[in-house]
Structure 1
Amino acid sequence: MITNTDSIILSPSYTLPLWIILLALPLSLINLWLGLVVALFGLFLMVQTATIRLGFTPTSLEVYRSEQIIRVFPYADWLSWQIFWTRVPVLFYFREVKSIHFLPIIFDSKTLKLCLEKYCTIEKPLA
C-alpha cells in the first residue's frame, strides 16, 4: 500500500492469477483446450495485476494503468459495494447510479476493505 496525505494506492496481489494458472494444470488433463483457456485467463490477470492499480482519494476511486489515471469513480455516484467470498476474496463489485462494475481481486483485499469502509459511506454495503 502506497499512501500520501490524500490518497491510498493498493498494492498488487498475485494470489488470484496464480491460483487460476494452477487450476489450469489439472483441467488440462481432463480437457486440453479448457486447461489452455483457463491458463490464458490466469496469464491475462497476471499482466493486469502488474499494470493496474486502484487508488482511493477522499472523493473517488481512481483506476491507474502504469501510473496514468484511466478512470475515476466518484463515491457520490455509488449505490452499493460488496466483496464476494470474504474468506478467499476473488471479486469486488460496486454499483453506481448508471452502471455496475465487477473487478477481480488482484490487489490487497484487506486494504481494499478498509478503504471501502473508510471512504464509501454508503448506508449499508451488501453483506
Structure 2
Amino acid sequence: MTATPSTSTPPTPAQTVELAPSYLLPFAILLLSVPVVLLQRWVGLTTAVFAVFLIVQAATIRLRFTATTLEVYRSGQQIRNFPYAEWSNWRVFWPPVPILFYFREVKSIHFLPMLFDPSALRACLEQRCPVK
C-alpha cells in the first residue's frame, strides 16, 4: 500500500510512504547559473548542466519509507534499501531552505540533494528513525 503524506492525517509507521519530488533546488540552481554565465561562461554552463542533471534525477528517483527500510527507486525499479536499524544519525542541512539530506549508517555515510518534499521527508524521518 502506498500512501502520500497529507496535511490532515499523518501516515502510520506501518504504511509505505513515497515522497513527492521537489524541483525547487534544481530550478534555483538553474536560475542562479544564468547570471554566472555572464560573468564566467564555463562556470555558469557547468552549473546549468549540473542543474539539468538534478532535474532529471528529481524526475526519476523516488524515496519510499516502509516500516523497516528506506528504499530508493529509479524509474520504478528498486536500486538500494537502507534498514533503519543500521542508521546512527540523519540531518537535513540548512532547514530554512533545505538543500541536502545526510544520513549515516553503521558502515557508511550518504548525502542526497534535496529533490524531495522536505517537510514530508522530515516527518517520515522523525517518525521512523528518530535521531539518537
TM-score range (shorter-chain normalised) is over 0.9
- Which shows bigger deviation, 4-13 or 15-24? 4-13
| Structure 1 position 85 matched with structure 2 position 85 | no
**Could you tell me how far 1:122 is from its partner in structure 2?**
3.7
TM-score computed with the length of structure 1 as normaliser = 0.93
Equivalent residues of 1:81, 1:94 under 8 A apart: yes
- Indicate the residue corresponding to 1:3 in structure 2: 3
**Could you tell me how far 1:45 is from its partner in structure 2?**
0.1
| Structure 1 position 27 matched with structure 2 position 41 | no
- Indicate the residue corresponding to 1:117 in structure 2: 126
**Could you tell me how far 1:31 is from its partner in structure 2?**
0.4
Select 1:100's aligned residue among 98, 103, 109.
109
Q: Which consecutive unaligned segments of at least 5 residues does structure 2 have?
A: 5-13
- Indicate the residue corresponding to 1:37 in structure 2: 46
Q: Distance in 1 between matches of 2:58 and 2:30?
A: 14
Equivalent residues of 1:53, 1:64 under 8 A apart: yes
Cα deviation, 1:63-83, whole Å, max 9, x if unaligned, reads 001111100000000010000
Q: Distance in 2 between matches of 1:63 and 1:104?
A: 14
TM-score computed with the length of structure 2 as normaliser = 0.89
Q: Distance in 2 between matches of 1:21 and 1:113?
A: 25
Equivalent pairs, count = 122
Q: What SS class does the counterpart of residue 38 from structure 1 fall into?
A: helix
Equivalent residues of 1:78, 1:122 under 8 A apart: no
Residue correspondence of structure 1 range 54-73 to structure 2 within 5 A: 54-73=63-82
Q: What SS class does the counterpart of residue 101 from structure 1 fall into?
A: strand
Q: CA RMSD in A?
A: 1.2
**Could you tell me how far 1:109 is from its partner in structure 2?**
0.4
**Could you tell me how far 1:6 is from its partner in structure 2?**
2.9
Q: Which consecutive unaligned segments of at least 5 residues does structure 1 have?
A: none
